[in-house]
Structure 1
């Protein structure tokens, strides 16, 4: 495998753009293929087997394009597919783990909230990290779930009044229970930071795994001697399984944002030449 090959990034939709932004900070010279399975988003309510199948098809498509590794930038896909993917593909496969550990270490109230999709809550990864990190520390973990938030982000409505109403409904019980850390258990959810703060002020510190995944990906590629030797900023090609024209304005908005600045509100990210390189792909 050539170190000049691109890094593949997969999500069911636009949520993985939050992880891509962190990858580009950690490895700005790499080139990336970002595949969004917009024809099937959201996947959180689908069956376990269907989630595995859609993820397998997407990673297969990236593999066929010659990527040197794949970041599964989707909590739900990671929860159901990592073992299968690693057994099938002879390239590094990096997945997401809900950021419960840093939330447990940071909490002062002893109560941590997790905002996730139905699929992530159904999988084993979240239960495993709660058992590994929260239970021994005596930290209570409260879970909140919504089927509406991912479609709202996909529709470019992350800051809408409708989104804020949904967040108010699902997160108010966590505030009432004293949660001071909120784990964003879906890569779409960092794009909700502005709406969460608009509704709840500084009740929560928002915690997600994007930066940690980017650091881990860099370590994995370095260990395999797969880091690029390029010195110029790498390019990104965006691949979507759904309608390119429908995806373009949402991608353009979210790519231009940085969901990891100090106050957790969107800000300018690394520069991407316009127009975006968005292509349709069958998986």
Structure 2
């Protein structure tokens, strides 16, 4: 079984990419909704949650873990790999490398949570893969929470998104990296703003390709999906059709289940 987890709904974008690439894989998605969002929390707290969730999923029978959260990857993927040396662990990192390679203006922007914006992991990505490219890191407080509450198309939020994106375009950024898995669900609004001026860079499909390479026998099971949440599992269940993922709900063998994950 492949375990995929995030603080909430954002990792569903990665789950969907994996389920499309591996339709027969048995998948477990865990939303740590009791502690959402991670983006405004301290690294030590996030590390504690990631390690506890990793133990829980391994105990459930997962033999491959996907940290479907940029913030959690930046804060704790190294420690998670150390804790489970026999388990394949796939993290999610902002697509700085493909954005830098594709940029014609040599200017890109990375949209992130507050935590990821200040992480050494992001700084290292930029140093390694964006040499000679001007990178503007734009923290977007509250965006993940908007996705969690499914408040995606209100006029006030559209105005806020516009106020953040237009200055980046004015600076000449021609690649906008979605540096939080939640932001994938804002792509329709973002695409309207950047059409003809910039491209959105999302890594969900790249993560799925890595999972395909590592899955082995785990890709050939019964195609079942199990949904778990540390709070309000009914909201996780209800969010799937609202986010255009009703087909994932059809794969679920039972309603989303409330679980407790302690450190």
- What's the TM-score, normalizing by structure 1? 0.86
1:25–1:270: 8 Å Cα contact kept in structure 2? Answer: no
Shift of 1:195: 1.2
Of 144, 156, 167, the match for 1:162? 156
Q: Which runs of 5+ in 2 are unaligned?
A: none
Of 95, 98, 101, the match for 2:94? 98
What SS class does the counterpart of residue 63 from structure 2 fall into? coil
1:115–1:183: 8 Å Cα contact kept in structure 2? Answer: yes
Asked whether 1:83 is paired with 2:83, we answer no
Q: CA separation in 1, counterparts of 2:254 and 2:181? A: 21
Of 4, 25, 31, the match for 1:36? 31
Q: CA separation in 1, counterparts of 2:157 and 2:186? A: 8
Alignment of 1:113-262 (within 5 A): 113-135=109-131, 138-222=132-216, 226-230=217-221, 234-254=223-243, 256=245
Shift of 1:273: 4.6
Shift of 1:108: 1.2
Shift of 1:274: 7.3
Shift of 1:57: 1.5
Q: CA separation in 1, counterparts of 2:117 and 2:95? A: 14
Q: CA separation in 1, counterparts of 2:147 and 2:194? A: 19
Measured on the aligned residues, the alpha-carbon RMSD in Å equals 1.9
Task: Determine the structure 2 residue equivalent to 1:282.
Answer: 260
Q: What does the per-residue CA deviation read over 1:37-85, in whole Å, with 9 as the maximum and x for residues that have no partner?
A: 0111011111110010111111121112111111000000000111111
2:227–2:252: 8 Å Cα contact kept in structure 1? Answer: no
Of 11, 14, 18, the match for 1:19? 14
2:240–2:248: 8 Å Cα contact kept in structure 1? Answer: no
- What's the TM-score, normalizing by structure 2? 0.93
What SS class does the counterpart of residue 143 from structure 1 fall into? strand
What SS class does the counterpart of residue 227 from structure 2 fall into? strand
2:2–2:218: 8 Å Cα contact kept in structure 1? Answer: no
2:224–2:253: 8 Å Cα contact kept in structure 1? Answer: no
Q: Which runs of 5+ in 1 are unaligned?
A: 1-5, 258-268
Shift of 1:112: 0.5
2:16–2:245: 8 Å Cα contact kept in structure 1? Answer: no
Which structure shows the bigger proportion of residues in helix conformation? Answer: 2
Task: Determine the structure 2 residue equivalent to 1:260.
Answer: none
Give the number of aligned pairs: 260
Q: Which runs of 4+ in 1 moved over 6 A?
A: none
Shift of 1:254: 2.2
Q: CA separation in 2, counterparts of 1:43 and 1:270? A: 24
Q: CA separation in 2, counterparts of 1:88 and 1:163? A: 40
What SS class does the counterpart of residue 213 from structure 2 fall into? helix
Q: CA separation in 2, counterparts of 1:275 and 1:156? A: 24
Q: CA separation in 2, counterparts of 1:271 and 1:152? A: 22
Q: CA separation in 1, counterparts of 2:249 and 2:41? A: 35
Q: CA separation in 2, counterparts of 1:275 and 1:159? A: 31
Change (3 A) 1:274 1:217: closer
2:111–2:179: 8 Å Cα contact kept in structure 1? Answer: yes
Change (3 A) 1:270 1:95: same
